[in-house]
Structure 1
Amino acid sequence: MNKAHFLFLLIPFFFISCAKKNDNLPRKATGKINTISVIIDDQLWNGEIGDSIRNKFASPVIGLPQEEPLFTINQYPVKLMEGFMTDSRTIIVVKKEEKNQFVIKKNQYASPQNVFHISGKTSSGILKIIEKNAPKIIQTIKETEIVESQRINGQSLLNPQTIANKFHISLKVPSGYLYVLQDTSFIWLKKEIVSGNSSLLIYQVPISSIKKDPNSVANIVKMRDSIGDLYIRGTELDTHMITEEGYAPYLFKVKLNGKETYETKGTWELKNDFMSGPFINYAIVDKQHDRILVLEGFCYSPSKEERDLMHELESIIKSIIVLK
């Protein structure tokens, strides 16, 4: 057998082998950010089980000026648990079965994907499982959506060394953001959108700027209001960004890049003006560099929903790596 015939015989086997390998690869998960496919029969969806799911997973997002759901929910009957529904990044399957059970399956039909299986003998059994496991489900979905946002956002054309040199950090800033203002220890990035704009602030203050409880919230408000007075001003005289005075911000203690961090969510307003919107502020206690490193995202989009804009800003901030 000559070489030509031998190669000719090999080619079909090569393509068959590749096809089999591709068949084994998981499908790519699809869907909009912060969207859940709930697979549940109409009878359960229209009763107290459906009410519980809506109350848990479509509750209002904290820190937004107007009510928006935590997740967008699309409901489908169990018989439709085929085809494009299984490509969703987040799926909750609720059934009445002989066993009370809660199972999380990673990448069951596509990747990246979380499929949450909830089953029970009775409605009360299912409700107990939802009540017990809702916080874990929400946390898992949020973490997956942050990672997915970081993946799809793309890399900015901005020179990353500018941020690295000034603050000793790396940050995944997506395309569309441009430098608005730079100072010795302050950077303002902004992205223009159809309905307004999204902004990201990076700055640092002395490590003593934030005292321990019960003064943490007051110190953070004072800190961000002073930054607003210095840098974030309106077009009219004596207009600058402040924390909205009518509502106390929400404060949480979290870990960011392994460091103790104060997470603050609330609304901002332009003093002596009518502009306002939501903000999310992360004050990182960076003992290594003897500072409080602050990353804040805020947006102005009065005619559009702001949940996903704030989610994008949160995903940028959570990509931070503090360099040694």
Structure 2
Amino acid sequence: MIKKRIFGFLFILSLVLLTSSCDQNNKSTKPRSIGNTSEILVVLDSQKQWDNTIGKTIRTYFEQEQYGLNQVEPIFKLAHISKQNFSDLFKKHRNILIVHIDPKIEKSKVESFEDLWSSPQQIINIHAPNNRAFVSTLNENATAIIDKYNLAERKRILSVFRPSSRNKVSSEIAETFQLKMTVPSGFFMAKNESDFMWIRKEANEYSQCIFIISEPYKDTAQFSTSSIVARTNRFLEQYVPGDQRDSFMQIDEEFVIPQGKIIENFVSGYAIELRGLWNVEGDFMGGPFLSYTFLDSRSNKIVTLHSYVYHPNKKKRDLLRQLESILYSTQFTK
């Protein structure tokens, strides 16, 4: 049974590799990486390591629930393989986490490599003399490692989006807000006001949308979660009606409390990330949202880039990750 599973996995990977090689970037000397969005391949010595405290600790961090989704999804999907089966084919995976346990190792350490066996690729090696040291090392570095993988995912998504991003929508964003944003084809401008913009993508099964909200900056209290929610709701009620009469979009504060955190590597160097759920007052629609709020010191305005996904009864993590990548691409035009 195990051999059949490995053969099936190899067959699928071979098809992906064959397909991806057709559009390989001519500028890269490395083969194109394989694997799905938000997926990490964990390489260990044995199945025993996956079943003991090493594997349990890895799963605790990398399979933790993504906050703000209305269906349970982990932040990453994990696959694992033994070093014995870690062939050249598997080395082409986009995200790899390699566990090295050896009593000869004097001091635990974490190594990071990009594009080692394929491109684009993010590899993390964790070296430790024993299981306890490994767990301690991962506990200390998990947040930084997750940030590494998240950054790699955003870069890959933007590399796909960038070729089609010179379009009318991007031009209107630059003209209205003096912001440069990598918005791929498929999105269209639904509303463009001096202080509010609504950018939409309507696919057969899902919707992805971005709002840009701007108002004069007064003080730091505007960066509080309650202030961001209240300000966003005010604009949504004014500009984003629902299908039913007197219905409008709002940030939900009843079922999932919006969760904010400080981001230090955004367009202005500082931003507040907010995750949670949205709904439509007076209707039965909802889904996850993600926003970033920052100060535009050029115009002395506080700006919120607010995105949401509508994909009823389906998984939404990767659709939201696409929007996250678009928002992270934001730069000042001057």
Using structure 1 for the length normalisation, give the TM-score.
0.87
Letter in 1 for 2:154: I
Unaligned runs of 5+ in 1: 1-21
Following TM superposition, by how much is the alpha carbon of 1:46 offset from its aligned partner in structure 2, in angstroms?
1.3
Following superposition, the deviation at residue 143 of structure 1 comes to 0.8
Q: Which position in structure 2 is the counterpart of 1:227?
A: 235
Counterpart for residue 39 of structure 2 = 35
Which residue of structure 2 lines up, in the alignment, with residue 14 of structure 1? none
Return closer, same or farther for 1:92/1:252 CA change in 2, 3 Å cut-off. same
Counterpart Cα distance in 2 of 1:66 and 1:151: 28
Q: In the alignment, does 2:86 pair up with 1:93?
A: no
One-letter code aligned to 1:47: N
Q: 1:297 aligns with which of 303, 307, 310?
A: 307
1:206-285 equivalent positions in 2, closer than 5 A: 206-208=216-218, 211=221, 216-246=224-254, 247-255=256-264, 256-285=266-295
Corresponding position of 2:9: none
Residue 235 of structure 1, CA deviation: 1.2
Q: Matched residues, percent identical?
A: 25
Counterpart of 2:75 in structure 1 is 70
**Residue by residue, what CA displacement relative to the aligned partner does 1:269-302 show, whole Å, maximum 9, x if unpaired?**
1112211111111111112111112211101111
RMSD across aligned positions (CA) = 1.9
Helix, strand or coil: the match of 2:228? helix
> Which residue of 1 is the match for residue 160 of structure 2?
152
CA contact (8 A) 1:195 1:304 kept: no
Q: CA deviation at 1:319?
A: 0.7
Mapped to 1, the partners of 2:325 and 2:124 lie a distance apart of 23
Contact 2:295–2:301 at 8 Å: present in 1 too? Answer: yes
Deviations 1:206-239 (A, max 9, x none): 11286167xx111111111111111111111121
C-alpha separation in 1, matches of 2:75 and 2:293:
24
TM-score norm. by structure 2 comes to 0.85
Q: Given that residues 222 and 228 in structure 2 are in contact (C-alpha distance below 8 angstroms), is that contact kept between their aligned partners in structure 1?
A: no
Q: Contact 2:213–2:232 at 8 Å: present in 1 too?
A: no
Give the direction of change, closer, same or farther, for the CA distance of 1:114–1:259 in structure 2 (3 Å limit): closer
**8 Å CA contact 2:305, 2:327 repeated in 1:** yes
Alpha-carbon shift at residue 192 of structure 1 (Å):
1.6
SS in 2 for 1:130: helix
Distance 1:245 1:136, change over 3 A: closer
**Structure 2 residue identity aligned to 1:233:** P
Computing the radius of gyration over CA atoms, which structure comes out larger, 1 or 2? 1
Q: Following TM superposition, by how much is the alpha carbon of 1:119 offset from its aligned partner in structure 2, in angstroms?
A: 3.0
Q: Residue 149 of structure 1 aligns to a residue in which SS?
A: helix
Answer yes or no: is the 8 Å Cα contact 1:209–1:223 preserved in 2.
Answer: no
Mapped to 1, the partners of 2:219 and 2:212 lie a distance apart of 16
> C-alpha deviations, 1:31-60, integer Å up to 9, x for none?
222110101121100122111111110100
For 2:89 and 2:222, locate their aligned partners in 1 and report how far apart those are by CA, in whole Å.
Answer: 50
CA contact (8 A) 1:259 1:285 kept: no
1:75-115: CA deviations, max 9, x gaps?
11111111221111211111321214432223221222222
Q: Report the count of equivalent residues.
A: 300
Q: In the superposition, relative to structure 1, how do residues 239 and 209 fare at CA in structure 2: closer, same or farther (>3 Å)? A: farther
Q: Equivalents in 2 of 1:300, 1:209: separation in Å?
A: 33
Structure 1 195/209 Cα, relative in aligned 2: closer, same or farther at 3 Å? farther
Amino acid at match of 1:208: K
Provide the residue aligned with 2:177 in structure 1.
167
